[in-house]
Amino acid sequence: MRAHVSRRSLAVLAAGAAALLAAACGPGAVLTAETPDQSVAAALQTAQTTPLRAAMTGQVTLDTSSLSGLPASIRSALGKLGSGGSATGQLVQESGARRQLTASAGGSSVRLVEYDGHGYVSQDGGGYAEVSGTLPASASITSTELTTAVAALSFQDQGPATVSGVSTERYTASITVPSLEKVAQALGGSATGSTQLAPMLAMLARYVTGSGSVDLWVSIRDGSLVRGTLSGSLSVDVGAAASALAGLLAPSSGSASLPAGTLGVSLSLGFDVSDYGSSVTVTKPVATSTLPAGGAWSGMMGMGSGASI
């Protein structure tokens, strides 16, 4: 994976949990967008570079009770995950070129820093390694990409609500596998891995059922993002998918060894934004080693073998 990917990862996360937790504007006096989707896209564009802090939480629950015939490697991975787990994160964004993301799960943590075109990673509080290569000059998602991605979700205005003492407008959108396909296609030029995600979703869609929803609360006074949640559940027909892919994967054993059953997954994510538009500082790390491009993302996703998610 190129260093290009690591930077776009931070840009998308800073914008609000890979576009699914996008910012939305309410119909207050300072907001001029005509529709909820236009408000969402406009606020997302601004949120990519506005100084802010965000506290994130996540919970995943797995149901593997009906699965059988799994390869040893997959059984081992599922054994480490157990029935699921939780994670927390902190995003600090000074500008579109300076961000810091810290994520913790299962007793391990990783910190990613983007600073003026350079990427750094630290795991479990250790020293920083600089990701080799210079990151691209622009990691922002374009206005056209945002507009198309948000339209795929079709946000609806649910009216005013008070969140932590702040008057907000609440927006919601339903999430389906087809809508996620459209989002991945729209963000193909910017979002992390979305060029690979779109065809993968298209291939898996026939074996996956489920749905979810996004809820967003945005300050009516200034249009700033206050809170966002994402929840959903899905069921993957592992047996049918494995049978369909058997020819491509060329398994070493016969068809009797193919896995069977379904995998159930429930997911909930949330974030709260603070210090929006205020003075936020990200400190440039002092690197003690160099990491090949892509290693930062691999380290972030790995978080040690005992990570909950």
For residues 62-71, average pLDDT: 84
Q: For residue range 113-160, what is the model confidence (pLDDT) as tens digits?
A: 999 989 999 998 899 999 877 665 555 678 888 889 889 999 999 999
Task: Please give the share of the chain, as a percent, with pLDDT higher than 90.
Answer: 34
User: What is the β-pairing status of strands 52-63 and 118-123?
Assistant: unpaired
Instruction: Give me the amino acid identity at 206.
Output: R
CA distance 180 to 194: 10
* 30 and 222 Cβ atoms separated by less than 8 Å: yes
For residues 249-269, average pLDDT: 73
Q: For residue range 277-290, what is the model confidence (pLDDT) as tens digits?
A: 999 999 999 999 98
Higher pLDDT, 94 or 189: 94
Per-residue model confidence (pLDDT) at position 2: 41
Higher pLDDT, 29 or 92: 92
For residues 8-12, average pLDDT: 42
Higher pLDDT, 273 or 22: 273
For residues 188-212, average pLDDT: 68
CA distance 255 to 275: 56
Task: Please give the share of the chain, as a percent, with pLDDT higher than 70.
Answer: 72
For residues 63-90, average pLDDT: 81
Q: For residue range 210-242, what is the model confidence (pLDDT) as tens digits?
A: 899 999 888 888 888 889 999 999 898 888 877
Give backbone dihedrals phi and psi of 59, rounded to 5 degrees, phi first.
Answer: -145, 130
Indicate the pLDDT class of residue 14, thresholds 50, 70 and 90: very low
pTM: 0.73
Higher pLDDT, 17 or 86: 86
Per-residue model confidence (pLDDT) at position 49: 86
Closest residue by Cα to residue 64 from 49, 79, 86: 79
Indicate the pLDDT class of residue 99, thresholds 50, 70 and 90: very high
Q: Is the pLDDT of residue 39 over 70?
A: yes
User: Which residues neighbour 295 within 8 Å (Cβ) at sequence distance 6 or greater?
Assistant: 121, 129, 131
Q: Is the pLDDT of residue 253 over 50?
A: no
User: Which residues neighbour 161 within 8 Å (Cβ) at sequence distance 6 or greater?
Assistant: 168, 169, 170, 217
Give backbone dihedrals phi and psi of 177, rounded to 5 degrees, phi first.
Answer: -60, -45
Higher pLDDT, 257 or 70: 70
